[in-house]
Structure 1
Amino acid sequence: MNPQSTRREFLADVGRGMLVTTLGYEVAINLGLSPAIAAEAMDTLTFGSLEPLVCLMQETPVNRLLPALVEQMRSGADLRRLVAAAALANARTFGGEDYVGFHTVMALAPAYHMAQELPVDLQPLPVFKVLYRNTNRIQERGGRKDEVLHAVTPSSTPADQLTGEALRQAVRQKDTAAAEQILAAIARSSSDEAFNDVLWAVQDSTEVHRVVLPYRAWDLLGIIGQEQAQTLLRQSVRYCVKAESWPRGATPDEPRTILPKLLEEHHLLGRAPGDRPAEDAWVEQLSETFFKLTPTQAADAAASALAEGMSPADVGEAITLAANQLILRDQGRTPREEVVGKPPGSVHGDSIGVHACDSANAWRNLARVANSRNCFASLILGAYQVALDRKARGGDFLNWQPLPIQRHLDEIKSSEPDALLRDLDEAVRGNLQGKASALVHRYGELGNSP
């Protein structure tokens, strides 16, 4: 909370907001709240029983946050509840419009999933790291006084006109208010429909953050509850609206024409995905196709495979294998791209290969949870994007050799699983990417358990 606020003042603010939300603006005025306070409270987006914890995430001085989180857990709050509060605090503060902010919210679900793989006493560690970054960024950007998301009134548009196409049109017109009102009306009926309708706007471009944000929002809903769908998906809506004003590249709007064309040409609309399983050789061949061809050719290859009834999971695997080739061949940053923490040769963070894998993972998972139309669309655009990533940002990926190279493999002498894992830990800590990839390759080659 604000260092200058007392606990009593904080609780009074929360209480006023809850009172106005419960009774309504006019009744609150009659009870003596000033019009300004009542109007502000009606405009504030609140989260019921989670509200005090959301405020804690926004207002606790960052140097006091970790002790406060430990105290919350001692008082009965589990990691799931802390992650929920952090996600809502982030969404309310940034609305998908802050670079560090949306990277932080996208890290919450992975941190929670990682925690579940750890011994109980270590589970808070990956989550607390992201919660710290979250609160730190919230306060760097002004905290509660500059919140982006506010309460929104659902659109009064007739139900049969509340569609993904309508939401996409509002985004293209850069009408944030209309887009959010349409989303609110759809979400009131179904969080699943809201998710699928937001994807219509997302599919207008294949920029990495635009793609990953809705997938991570959906992943979070499995942790914090479907009732928060509107709040989390508003981040994608606002991100897409802002993107309409960004400078255009050489082929920025190509997905807007390619996707409907391929869906129609391959008769994918109005049908369910197939379930024909693929042999490993088929998946490998399709991944090579995605890796080597142009973006439009890769998209057509994906649409053809889906039209033949091939399993979406196998097409998605081919996309991720193609992206994996990009990261294994990535030569990293050039000297002119050097920045603090990312020296020449670094493939950290926003490298071509890393972003390609982020996008491929998102498209593949969006296809897994979306409706039939969006399943097809996600895989077509996933194939398009992985081929585009190979060409659009430079690099000679077709000729660069993937890791591990033979020298790295020749240096691996052990065949004992525990020894390989110990050496892998040392290589990762030493940032020896070539050696680490060779150790993983050898570990898998010997048939050890992943």
Structure 2
Amino acid sequence: TALDALLPSVQEDTEVHRTVLPYRAFDLLNVVGQEHADTLLRQSVRYCIKAEQYRKSDWDTHGAVLTKLLDEHHLLGKAPGQRAMEDSALGQLADAMFSGAPEDAAGAMAAALAEGFVPAALAEALSLAANQILLRDLGRPPEWEFSGKPPGSVHGDSSGVHASDSANAWRHLASVSHGRNVQACLILGAWQVARDRGARSADMLKWPAIPTEHQKAGVKTTDPTLLLNQLDEAIRGGLQAQAAALVHQAGAIGQEAEPVFALMLKYAVSEDGALHAEKYYQTVWDDFHSTRPGFRFRHLCGLARVTASEYGRPAPGMAEARELLGI
């Protein structure tokens, strides 16, 4: 397909916008119609061509790793496997990708592909590894302060949001592509998530994920309505850990996820989110519904944290839009 022909160019750099653009464009085909597929495809072609002026020598690093792993594990020409992956193995793979060096994370993914595990399960692990970056991040340091992105915030172009968006794109590019691209997208996704974690801080492995056990223990109610009310209050108060703890409790008691998504959707639309609110909301909605029950609420905890982080900075034009709509 045309997308398969494009992907080797996309894979030349593991950069979030280069990766996210082609899948989001592909996902829009049902909205804009197949007759406009070439227009959407040209966006990514142009992006890749324009990026050539910024080419760096380190672009070759992940390509060399990919070539080595495809050969070492005899993945070229190998059909994707259909072997089911148990929860424990999936969790171990996610941890290996999060905690390892980029080469080791890519190697772990390549080995899992060679063992014949179904790509959809490996994609779950990839997104969970990226989610750990968001849940463990200490927030934007003071020296990175920027308008709309204060110290301690995790919304916008934070390491966790970008890692999650990238992982989501790689997993879906693997699902809609063919041949070598299936393995390449998953291996490069693993390489990138480990790279992103290391780029944020070498100490991230020491940082606890939120909600911590102490924060979980602080949520006493098991009433779904009260939990939603308290979540709304936590978001409006900018309480990232508390918001995540309340969502964790919702998952623990078996609460339906849709009312939680509905609550946070209004903020994904109303708040600025430093240009990333709506995109990350869609990432989490998709990752949640593509992840098995034992792990999926981790993604929703991440969304709760980001929503609390971004609250209080209305999206440009929101007041005017409300006035025009009479709401």
Residue 245 of structure 1 aligns to a residue in which SS? helix
For residues 307-355 of structure 1, the C-alpha deviation after alignment (integer angstroms, 9 at most, x for no partner) is 1110101111111111111000111111111111100011111111111
Shift of 1:413: 1.7
Aligned to 1:322: 129
- Paired AA for residue 268 in structure 1: L
Give every structure 1 segment of 4 or more consecutive aligned residues whose post-TM-superposition deviation is greater than 6 Å.
Answer: none
Shift of 1:430: 2.6
How far apart, in 2, do the equivalents of 1:410 and 1:352 lie?
28
Give the alignment's TM-score, normalised by structure 1: 0.55
Matched, 1:374 2:181: yes
Which of 440, 443, 447 pairs up with 2:247?
A: 440
Aligned to 1:280: 87
Aligned to 2:267: none
- Paired AA for residue 20 in structure 2: V
Matched, 1:427 2:234: yes
Larger radius of gyration: 1
Aligned to 2:56: 248
Please show how residues 338-417 of structure 1 align to structure 2 within 5 Å. Answer: 338-394=145-201, 396-417=203-224
Alignment check: 8 A CA contact 1:277 1:311 kept: yes
For residues 276-313 of structure 1, the C-alpha deviation after alignment (integer angstroms, 9 at most, x for no partner) is 11110000000111011110111111111111110101
Shift of 1:395: 5.1
How far apart, in 2, do the equivalents of 1:393 and 1:405 lie?
20
How far apart, in 2, do the equivalents of 1:351 and 1:396 lie?
16
Shift of 1:235: 1.2
How far apart, in 1, do the equivalents of 2:24 and 2:39 lie?
13
Which of 28, 34, 55 pairs up with 1:226?
A: 34
Alignment check: 8 A CA contact 1:360 1:386 kept: yes
Unaligned runs of 5+ in 2: 258-327
Pair 395,304 (structure 1): closer, same or farther in 2 beyond 3 Å: closer
How far apart, in 2, do the equivalents of 1:344 and 1:417 lie?
32
Matched, 1:203 2:11: yes
Alignment check: 8 A CA contact 1:302 1:383 kept: yes
How far apart, in 2, do the equivalents of 1:298 and 1:308 lie?
16
For residues 194-228 of structure 1, the C-alpha deviation after alignment (integer angstroms, 9 at most, x for no partner) is 11111110011111111101010101112211221
Alignment check: 8 A CA contact 1:203 1:255 kept: no
Q: Which of the pair has the greater relative contact order for Cα pairs under 8 Å at 6+ separation? A: 2
Number of residue pairs matched? Answer: 257
Aligned to 1:115: none
Unaligned runs of 5+ in 1: 1-192
Residue 204 of structure 2 aligns to a residue in which SS? coil
Please show how residues 96-175 of structure 1 align to structure 2 within 5 Å. Answer: none
For residues 160-184 of structure 1, the C-alpha deviation after alignment (integer angstroms, 9 at most, x for no partner) is xxxxxxxxxxxxxxxxxxxxxxxxx
How far apart, in 2, do the equivalents of 1:395 and 1:416 lie?
40
Shift of 1:394: 2.9
- Aligned-pair identity (%): 56
Residue 254 of structure 2 aligns to a residue in which SS? coil
Give the alignment's TM-score, normalised by structure 2: 0.76
- Paired AA for residue 31 in structure 2: I
How far apart, in 2, do the equivalents of 1:448 and 1:278 lie?
26
Shift of 1:448: 2.2
Aligned to 2:323: none
Shift of 1:244: 1.7
Please show how residues 90-101 of structure 1 align to structure 2 within 5 Å. Answer: none
CA RMSD of aligned residues (A): 1.4
Residue 253 of structure 1 aligns to a residue in which SS? helix
For residues 36-57 of structure 1, the C-alpha deviation after alignment (integer angstroms, 9 at most, x for no partner) is xxxxxxxxxxxxxxxxxxxxxx
Which of 17, 23, 44 pairs up with 1:236?
A: 44
